[in-house]
Amino acid sequence: MGASLPDFQLPYGNSKVYFSLPDGLRVHYIEPREVEPIKDFKGELESSLKNLKFLRPGARVAIIADDITRPTPTHLILPKLLDFLEGIGIREVTLIAALGTHRPMTQSELERKYGEALDRVNIIQPDFRDPEKQVRVGTMPSGAPIEVTKELSKVDFSIGIGCVTPHHVSGFS
């Protein structure tokens, strides 16, 4: 007797997860709509940068970007973003690697993820386990503290670059 084929598959990272559900379970499968890929990456990026019109010359800015474990093409985005910021008179830019609970990236990983931008910013790889490097900025309704890396608390504006993907522990990350 051979094993039956799974009924469902979900994309997960660069592969797929296959699974079956118990008989008798009512399932409503919703097919996601197709999303057109961006045809003009540079044009879309430039259009997005226009939303940053509230920034002022001399502002201290942090760019928070996901780490090497995420597929965001940060190395393509950062140079254009930094050119834009410099063009409006912003010189002090800190790049904060959004590591979460991941280990710090190696120099090779930093170069692969952030590209030429590494030479233009102060890079921080925060350690969430070090309470001396965190600052409390608020409290959740449950009473849990909200903490951020100290460098983030010192800037006037923060800009996030990243993607949302399925995560085996968090659901989505």
pLDDT for 6 beyond 80: no
Instruction: Indicate the burial class of 91 (C-beta count within 10 angstroms; 0-12, 13-18, 19 or more).
Output: exposed
* Residue 132, domain member (yes or no): yes
Helix, strand or coil, per DSSP, at residue 95: strand
Give the total number of structural domains in the chain.
1
Please state, in angstroms and rounded to a whole number, the distance separating the CA atoms of residues 134 and 151.
9
Running DSSP on this structure, what letter comes out for residue 43? H
* Any domain includes 125: yes
Question: Which pLDDT does position 1 carry in this prediction?
Answer: 47
Mean pLDDT of 70-97: 94
Percent of the chain's residues with pLDDT above 70: 90
Per-residue pLDDT tens digits for 119-139: 999 999 999 889 999 999 889
The answer to whether residue 33 is domain-embedded is: no
Helices 74-87, 107-114: axis angle to 10 degrees equals 70
Residue 18, domain member (yes or no): no
CA atoms within 13 Å, Cβ hemisphere of 2: 3
Tell me if 12 is assigned to some domain. no
Report whether 88 contacts 55 (CB < 8 A): yes
pLDDT attached to residue 68: 92
CA 27 – CA 156 distance, rounded (Å):
48
Mean pLDDT of the chain: 86
Residue 172 or 142, more confident: 142
Residue at 7 is within a domain: no
Cα dist from 155 to 33, 37, 162, 170, whole Å? 39, 34, 19, 29
Do the domain assignments include residue 108? yes
Which residues constitute the domain of residue 76?
A: 41-172
CATH number at residue 73: 3.40.50.11440
Q: Is residue 167 scored above 70 in pLDDT?
A: no
8-61 confidence digits (pLDDT tens): 888 777 888 888 877 877 777 777 788 888 899 889 988 988 888 889 999 999
CB 125 within 8 Å of CB 105: yes
69 assigned to some structural domain? yes
pTM: 0.75
In a 13 Å sphere around the CA of 110, the CA atoms on its Cβ side amount to: 16
